[in-house]
Structure 1
Amino acid sequence: MEINKKEKFYKIGEISKLYNISSDILRHYDKIGLVSPDFIGDNGYRYYSKKQIWKLNNIRNLRNLGFGLKEIQDFLDERNINSATEILELQLKKIQENIANLQELKEEIENKLTNIEFFKNFKDFDKPIIKYIPKRKFLRSKGLFNKEWEIDFEHKILNAKTEYDNDFILTNNEMGATITQENFLAGKYDTFSETFIINDERGEILEEGYFLTIVFKGSYTNINKYYEILKDYILENNLEILGDAHEIYHIEKHITEDEKEFITEIQIPIKRN
Structure 2
Amino acid sequence: MSKIYKGYINIFSISFTELIIMSKYFSIGEVASLYNLSVQTLRHYDKLGLLKPSLVKDSGYRYYSLEQFYKLDLIRFYKKLGLSLLEIKELISNKVTINDVVELLEAQEDEIDNQIKMLQKQKKSIKNKNKYIKSMISKPLGTVFLNKKAKKRIIKVKLEDESLEDAEVSFRKALNEFPKLNDPLTLELAYEINYEEFEEKEIVKYNSYFIVIEDKIDDDRIKVSEIEEGLYASIIYLDYYINNKKYINHLLDFIETENLSIESPLYESCIGSELYNDREKSFMEIFIKVNKNN
| Whole-angstrom distance in 2 between the partners of 1:197 and 1:216 | 19
Residue-pair matches, total: 257
1:5 CA displacement: 0.4
Structure 1 residue 215 and structure 2 residue 235: aligned? yes
Kindly indicate whether the alpha-carbon contact (under 8 Å) linking 1:212 and 1:270 is maintained by their aligned counterparts in 2: yes
Structure 1 partner of 2:52: 36
Closer, same or farther: CA 75–51 of 1 in aligned 2, 3 Å: closer
| Whole-angstrom distance in 1 between the partners of 2:176 and 2:95 | 46
Closer, same or farther: CA 75–40 of 1 in aligned 2, 3 Å: closer
List per-residue Cα deviations over 1:121-155 (Å, max 9, x = no partner): 3248522648565242236585655459x57x839
| Whole-angstrom distance in 2 between the partners of 1:147 and 1:45 | 66
The 10-residue stretch of structure 1 (262-271 or 99-108) with the greater mean CA deviation from structure 2: 262-271
Structure 1 partner of 2:105: 88
Structure 1 partner of 2:79: 60
1:249 CA displacement: 1.9
- Segments of 4+ moved more than 6 angstroms: 258-261, 270-273
Kindly indicate whether the alpha-carbon contact (under 8 Å) linking 2:190 and 2:268 is maintained by their aligned counterparts in 1: yes
Letter matched to residue 100 of structure 1: K
Structure 1 residue 267 and structure 2 residue 281: aligned? no
TM-score (norm 1): 0.68
Structure 1 residue 10 and structure 2 residue 28: aligned? yes
Structure 2 partner of 1:176: 190
Closer, same or farther: CA 140–110 of 1 in aligned 2, 3 Å: same
Kindly indicate whether the alpha-carbon contact (under 8 Å) linking 1:146 and 1:192 is maintained by their aligned counterparts in 2: yes
List per-residue Cα deviations over 1:64-122 (Å, max 9, x = no partner): 24x68367524653223222222222222222222222222222222233223323432
Kindly indicate whether the alpha-carbon contact (under 8 Å) linking 2:46 and 2:53 is maintained by their aligned counterparts in 1: no
- Provide the identity percentage: 22
Structure 1 residue 188 and structure 2 residue 207: aligned? no
List per-residue Cα deviations over 1:177-216 (Å, max 9, x = no partner): 3334465344232x54654431212462125265753222
Structure 1 residue 117 and structure 2 residue 134: aligned? yes
| Whole-angstrom distance in 2 between the partners of 1:160 and 1:43 | 60
Structure 1 residue 255 and structure 2 residue 275: aligned? yes
Closer, same or farther: CA 20–5 of 1 in aligned 2, 3 Å: closer
**Among residues 195, 200, 203, which one is paired with 2:214 in the alignment?**
200
2:26 is paired with a residue whose SS is coil
Letter matched to residue 244 of structure 2: I
1:226 CA displacement: 1.4
Structure 1 partner of 2:4: none
TM-score (norm 2): 0.64
CA RMSD of aligned residues (A): 4.6
